[in-house]
Amino acid sequence: MGAPPTPAADRAIARPRRRPLADRALARPRRRPLAALAALVALLAVGAAMLVDLSTPAPRPADAPADEFSAGRAYRTVQTIAARPHVAGSAANDQVREHLVGVLSGLGLETEVQDTVAPEAGQLSGAAGGATLARVRNVVARLPGTASTGRVFLVAHYDSVQSGPGGNDDAAGTSTIVEVARALAAGPRPRNDIVFVLTDAEEACLCGASAFASSHPLAADGGVVLNLEARGATGPVIMFETSRNNAKLVDVFGRAAPHPVGTSFAVEIYRALPNDTDFTAFLDEDFVGLNSAYIDGGAIYHTPLDTPEAMDRGSLQQHGDNALGLAREFGRTDLAALRSGHDATYFPVPGGLVRYPGWLTWPLAAAALVAVLALAWLARRRGRAGTGRLAAGFGLALVPIVLAPLAAQLLWAGITALRPGYAELLDPYRPTWFRLAVVALAAAILFAWYALTRRWAGPAALAIGGLGWLAVLGVVLAALVPGGSYLATLPALTGALAGLLALGTRIDGPWPVLAVTLAGAVAVVILLPTVVLLFPALGMAMGGVAALFAVLLGLAALPVVDLLHPAAGGQRGLVALRARRLGALPAVAAGLAAVVLAGVGLRVDRFDAAHPVPTHLMYALDADNGEAEWLSHEEEPQPWTRPYVQEKGSVAWFFPTLGDERIFYGQATAANLPAPKLEVLADTTTGGERTLRVRLTPQRTVRLASLHVEADSATVKQAVAAGQPLPIAPQVPGSRWGFGLVFHAPPPEGVEITLTLVPRTAKVVLRAMDASDGLDALPGFRPRPPDVGVAGSHSSEMLAVARTYPL
């Protein structure tokens, strides 16, 4: 017989030491597979619901009821508008405008053409230190309201780029407005005026929108703008930009748009980017409003492939459904009450749009941080994880956050090394396989990290560490990008609350599984659309950003991941080894999937006649000496382009509008082309200042003309073109040109320009240039093979002729 047990030993026998969280989760091993399966099915169902919500509606046929938007009817307008390229100032552009005027007038609307010269909005069109103007002819139609409190403006541009017919960009927006106008004109008269504005020269310089917003009488009192765009061929229509203080506008969007897809994160990012649409011109004049576009299928953007046949009519239907719903709602709303004192935070959920005041951003971010800290404290108090493991879990959670984006970028670098033509595309023609490869790669990194660190750090410490980084990121976003803070704050907050609930109940009961599953579902609802939409928004070249949010989603759902993770419990030896090997299987499977998906993408997305490799080529003739050059913006010349261009450097003297940009160039055969004529109309000198009045007249049909002043010969103090005062930009150090003007769609009679300048030399040196499109008739040009296409660029196929005029 041994010695009797001590009281302490009695207590230890009566109340066994609490096991770690991972072990207690396995207390009922028969339940674990069922719980894991149920949690996985629940998250997959939520994810599927989100993907369905992001899909486009079925297009309605041409015989749909008169009060509905019909993609079938609108598509007929697309076919008419996008029959061929119709750049501003071209004969094709004139024909499109005449058609639109006839259709809108036929609906009984008050229709006119605003014909004027206007400056650019935004900074789309470079002029090497100068200004940009265009002659524009906007189509404007009005449906008068019954008791108007203001005006609602539906805006799209009807011009296209020179390199493509604009079947989507922006025949989609233009046809949508025509069909919405038909539906509104056929129904009850709205309370507020509805104005349909089809702008010219958007692709060149946003000059049409600038002209209307700044000088048209209908725009004098401002109003609500709904701008409709497309940057691709398919995908959901995303409301990606708003005016400031958008809470009431977003509320109307969430209520009135049948398919409201939009996030405050997208608005914040777009505001920070140097991108512009016609909407920019209206914001500059203090309008309020919403900007929407579909953006997937970006490979055809601004290329000859942007045809009506390329359009997803479901995207067109969504454009029209939303535009008509919003026009009707704003048409009966008191527009004077729309301005709000704050921005809203909002994001899509199945069946609608969640929105809450932006002033909640900081309280929610703070709450998430406090909740995660409380979870860490309680986990330590309950013996689930010590201080050291919690610190290790937080540090280790940073590993996948860093590695996944880096790996995604390296993956794409490897793919573009194998397929160099991708570097010239906004996105591959068939990007789905590559997108899935990035997601699989992010999952592989997350699973491998978890399998390697779970046993050492413990699942509780890793889960809390992941939530900790989400909470920290939420605070950072609240400070820098407030509209995007919800992406990290809400998953962190719900995950921490779920963890607190799990710690407060029986670990082998149903509540912990239910809590972590609900928290995972919240993360899926919030983060999955962001991952899906970031791919087309940023392109595969920035796939690492989507990979980052995919990993954040995985970290937020880590407790559900742990349910799927085989564990050895308190076993050692072969049992533990087998569990670790099984735990590594998801990482291996995801890694293999990433390789296979990338390989399938490379095999499926081959360049062919229907999906040509994009190439960029220009031609510049110096009429001073009869020398000519081929020019290319390609990052690395493609095989078709390489015979034309061999060196890289600045061609500022040859092509002033490019400034000092370094591009590829090569010698070309001079063509017999006339240079633009510069005629001196007046030349006076007073008090050391010289005033030159000249007329710049192209001697051929061109898309644009430019005039630059050599910096060493004079300093320009004032400039006026076509009656428009021009801004004088500061001299760029080292630049050859001190002032420049680009004029799009110049009239046949030329452009009158007055320069007031201070001469530095006996003669003021001016460089006149004009540019048309089309290289086929040039000596030495070889037609492209069927699988070689034109890159989407405003300068693709440009043919420029320049002459120097010392005056």
Q: Which residues, at least 6 apart from 518, have a Cβ–Cβ distance to it below 8 Å?
A: 494, 498
pLDDT at position 707, please? 95
Please state the φ and ψ torsions of residue 254, each to the nearest 5 degrees: -65, -30
Tell me whether strands 110-119 and 131-143 are parallel, antiparallel or unpaired.
Answer: antiparallel
Preceding amide of 170 cis, omega within 30: yes
Q: How far apart are CA 708 and CA 586, in angstroms?
A: 62
d(CA 80, CA 307): 11
Amino acid at 506: R
CA 474 and chain centroid, separation: 22
| Cα gap 32→509, rounded to integer Å | 11
- Scanning 25-170, the segments in alpha helix (DSSP H) are 31-53, 71-81, 91-106
pLDDT at 28: 37
Which segments of 482-605 are extended strands (E)? none
Q: What HEC string does 200-269 produce? A: CCHHHHCHHHHHHHHHCHHHCCCCEEEEEEECCCEEEEEEEEECCCCHHHHHHHHHHCCCCCECHHHHHH
- The per-residue pLDDT for 4 is 43
Q: Is the dihedral of CA 202, 205, 208, 214 positive or negative?
A: positive
Distances (CA, A) of 408 to 352, 432, 657: 32, 15, 36
Q: In 54-170, where does DSSP find H-type helix?
A: 71-81, 91-106
**What is the pLDDT at residue 345?**
97
Helix, strand, or coil here: 273?
A: coil
Report d(CA 499, CA 520) in Å as an integer.
Answer: 11
Task: Could you list the beta-strand ranges (E) of 343-486.
Answer: 344-349, 352-357
pLDDT on residue 269: 87
Please give the Cα distance from 726 to 720 (Å, whole number): 6
Residues 6+ apart with CB under 8 A from 8: none
Helix or strand or coil: residue 171? helix
Contacts of 188 (CB under 8 A, 6+ apart): none
- Alpha-carbon gap, residue 792 to 164, rounded angstroms: 8
The answer to whether residues 167 and 242 touch, using CB atoms and an 8 Å cutoff, is no
Predicted pLDDT at 275: 78
Contact 347, 104 (CB under 8 A): no
All domains in the chain, ordered by first residue: 14-35+361-604 (no CATH), 71-341 (3.40.630.10), 617-807 (2.60.40)
Q: Which pLDDT belongs to residue 583?
A: 62
What residues contact residue 170 under an 8 Å CB cut-off, 6+ apart?
156, 157, 158, 160, 202, 228, 229, 230
* Structural Rg of the chain based on CA atoms: 31
- What pLDDT does residue 617 have? 97
User: Cβ contacts of residue 743 below 8 Å, gap of 6+?
Assistant: 132, 133, 134, 135, 696, 704, 705, 706, 721, 722, 751
The DSSP 8-state label assigned to residue 799 in this structure reads: E
Q: Say which residues have a Cβ less than 8 Å from residue 40's Cβ, sequence separation at least 6.
A: 560, 563, 564
Q: Is residue 790 a contact partner of residue 797, using CB atoms and an 8 Å limit?
A: yes
- Measured CA to CA, the distance from residue 732 to residue 335 in angstroms comes to 44
The two three-digit tokens of residue 617, written as one number: 């080529």
What is the CA angle 119-697-132, rounded to 5? 15
pLDDT at 24: 40
pLDDT, averaged in runs of 10, over the chain (807 residues): 42 40 38 73 92 95 96 98 97 98 97 96 60 96 96 98 96 98 95 98 96 97 97 97 95 96 93 86 95 97 97 98 98 88 93 95 97 95 91 96 98 95 93 98 95 89 96 97 97 95 78 89 96 96 97 92 58 50 80 97 96 96 95 93 94 80 93 96 93 97 95 92 89 80 95 95 94 94 95 93 95
What is the per-residue pLDDT for 106? 97
Spell out the residues 6+ positions from residue 549 whose beta carbon is closer than 8 angstroms to its own.
Answer: 487, 527, 530, 531, 534
Task: Please give the C-alpha separations between residue 163 and each of 166, 296, 304, 431, 614, in angstroms, as whole numbers.
Answer: 9, 19, 6, 23, 12
DSSP 8-state class, residue 58 = P
pLDDT of 559:
86
End-to-end CA distance of the chain: 121
Closest CA to 115 of 238, 199, 30, 16: 199
Using DSSP's 3-state secondary structure scheme, residue 382 falls into: coil
pLDDT at res. 582: 58
pLDDT of residue 22: 38
Q: Is this model's pTM higher than 0.75 or not?
A: yes
Handedness of CA 126, 127, 130, 136 (dihedral sign): negative
pLDDT of residue 507: 67
- Token reading at 203: 């692709």
Mapped onto helix, strand or coil, the DSSP state of residue 154 is: strand
Distance between CA atoms of residues 753 and 693, nearest Å: 6
Residue 491 in tokens: 């998953």
Q: Is there a contact between 322 and 92 (Cβ–Cβ < 8 Å)?
A: no
Residue of 579, 540, 534 lying closest to 552 (CA atoms): 534
